[in-house]
Amino acid sequence: VKLRGRWGTVYDDAWNMDDAEVVCQQLGCGSAAHAQFTSQLLQDHSALMLIYINCNGNEKAIWDCNIEYWDPYNIPVLYNASVVCQGFSRLAGGDSECSGRLEVRQGQAWVSICHGHVDLMAAQVVCRELGCGTALALPEAGHFGATEGPFWHGAFECNGTEPLLSACTQRPPDIQNCTQPAAVICSRKCRGVVDLLHWVPAGRVEVKHEGEWGSVCSYDFDWDIRGASVVCRQLGCGRVAHTSPYAIGQGKGRIWLQPFLCRGTETKLQNCPHFGWGKHFCGHEWDVGVICSEALELRLEDGWGPCEGRVEVKLQGRWGTVADNAWDMDDAEVVCQQLGCGSAAGAYLASRFRSVDGPIMMAFIDCHGDEAALWGCNIWGWGPYNGPHDYDTAVVCQGFSRLVGGDSECSGRLEVWQGQAW
């Protein structure tokens, strides 16, 4: 608890589920799962803010309970209270914790949300709350089956940035006597193994059959973005960022599949037309590679803020630079728009800020300027590469928002950047 500007612990040698329930409900974390206390003597003498709490379980806040002592007390303690909450929202009935019917915690029970009472912004919050990446789809009613339980009486309005669904605005329901639950499909948890894929330096695709991993080969005229999109969708790893019939790091074992002419709508790679498990007419030099969008992140480093600096991309868990000897404003525009930093003000070499060592993740980029992400541009080199950083790139963006007409940059009319204008 924060009291008088200081954070401190809560002490109660009879801490129980009623007390924990109030904490979880107050934080928007659903119902209590466990009420615990730390039983070891704390050596740092953390301040105690509340001592001896007795809740009925239905109070709005922990300070509405009966509390014997308020203060910061600087004494070692044996019974600091702790809590594990159920969480406020979950996805049920899907093939993982990242897809299914949307349910929220109401008192001691899970209840469904009505189809039509959740939009994509609310779904984004749910996916983030569950650690499941981004929202991919709001399926049609009944996609994950019906529910026999009650429905949450209301709808959620979110701007997409809230940390929890419970933090969104709740409004009266549009639909009365609802019978169809809302459903959400999130992009993650993006996994390297779901009986399908291993990641190696350039994203070689491997499938598992009869307990053994093997690669996938396909000629360049057979393997394109349609086949790659099946892989990314099957893994729950977002959209295709890059695909190649020439995977760096050829496989050495079995070649299990040679798919050809995927439509792109298949739910699994093995549902594409193929010659049969273990039957192929290409070698490991034709092993295919894929990089999905969820495997990538973008940032600007060593500038004065998040909207200027050296361009860096995160691939396979590592950050590295972007190299291009013809880096221009079209390329920079895509970076700024993708980061929500408005339009590009300048395209530079990274030496304008600070050069670094380490891997180069992308090389030789050609953007039109209207791509949704940097990896939607034409990219001739995917790393990581260990080489000279003479052509590492940097960007300065206009920023997305500003205050004008005031006596400083910290007051005035609020303006945002739209296209090429404030």
User: Domain 303-397 falls in which CATH fold?
Assistant: Mac-2 Binding Protein (3.10.250)
Q: 10 Å Cβ neighbour count for 409? A: 9
Domain boundaries of the chain, sorted by first residue: 2-85, 90-186, 206-293, 303-397
User: Domain 206-293 falls in which CATH fold?
Assistant: Mac-2 Binding Protein (3.10.250)
Name the average pLDDT for the chain: 81
Query: What are the C-alpha distances in Å from 216 to residues 192, 203, 228, 263?
Result: 15, 12, 11, 17
User: Residue 417's pLDDT is what?
Assistant: 78
- Range from 35-44, 163-172, 242-251, 282-291 carrying the lowest mean pLDDT: 35-44
Contacts of 319 (CB under 8 A, 6+ apart): 299, 312, 313, 358, 361
Q: Residue 75 — very low, low, confident or very high, per pLDDT cuts 50/70/90? A: low
| Residue 387 or residue 61, greater confidence | 61
CA atoms of 53 and 72, how far apart (whole Å): 15
With 0.85 as the threshold, say if the pTM is over it.
no
Q: Is the peptide bond before 384 cis (omega within 30 degrees of 0)?
A: yes
Give yes or no for residue 324 having a pLDDT over 90: yes
Residue with tokens 């809230």: 162
What residues does 50 pair with on adjacent strands?
Answer: 10, 70
User: Residue 290's pLDDT is what?
Assistant: 82
User: Residue 387's pLDDT is what?
Assistant: 81
Give yes or no for residue 16 having a pLDDT over 70: yes
User: Domain 90-186 falls in which CATH fold?
Assistant: Mac-2 Binding Protein (3.10.250)
CA atoms of 391 and 36, how far apart (whole Å): 55
CATH of 2-85, one of 3.20.20.100, 3.10.250.10, 3.30.420.40, 1.10.10.10: 3.10.250.10
Same CATH fold assignment for domains 2-85 and 90-186: yes
Q: Residue 93 — very low, low, confident or very high, per pLDDT cuts 50/70/90? A: confident
Nearest CA-CA partner of 165 in 30, 67, 291 = 30
Strand 254-257 relative to strand 212-216: parallel, antiparallel, unpaired? Answer: parallel
Nearest CA-CA partner of 401 in 415, 387, 391 = 415
CA atoms of 56 and 66, how far apart (whole Å): 9
Query: What are the C-alpha distances in Å from 142 to residues 90, 99, 146, 216, 304?
Result: 17, 13, 6, 35, 49
Share of the chain above pLDDT 90, in %: 15
Nearest CA-CA partner of 242 in 316, 171, 170, 186 = 316
| Residue 199 or residue 66, greater confidence | 66
User: Residue 204's pLDDT is what?
Assistant: 78
Q: Residue 384 — very low, low, confident or very high, per pLDDT cuts 50/70/90? A: confident
User: Residue 220's pLDDT is what?
Assistant: 67
Query: Which amino acid is present at 57?
Result: G
User: Residue 48's pLDDT is what?
Assistant: 82
User: Residue 196's pLDDT is what?
Assistant: 37
Contact yes or no for 411/402 (Cβ under 8 A): no
CA atoms of 365 and 325, how far apart (whole Å): 9
The tens digit of pLDDT for each residue in 107-161 reads 778 899 988 888 888 988 888 788 777 787 788 777 887 777 788 888 888 888 7
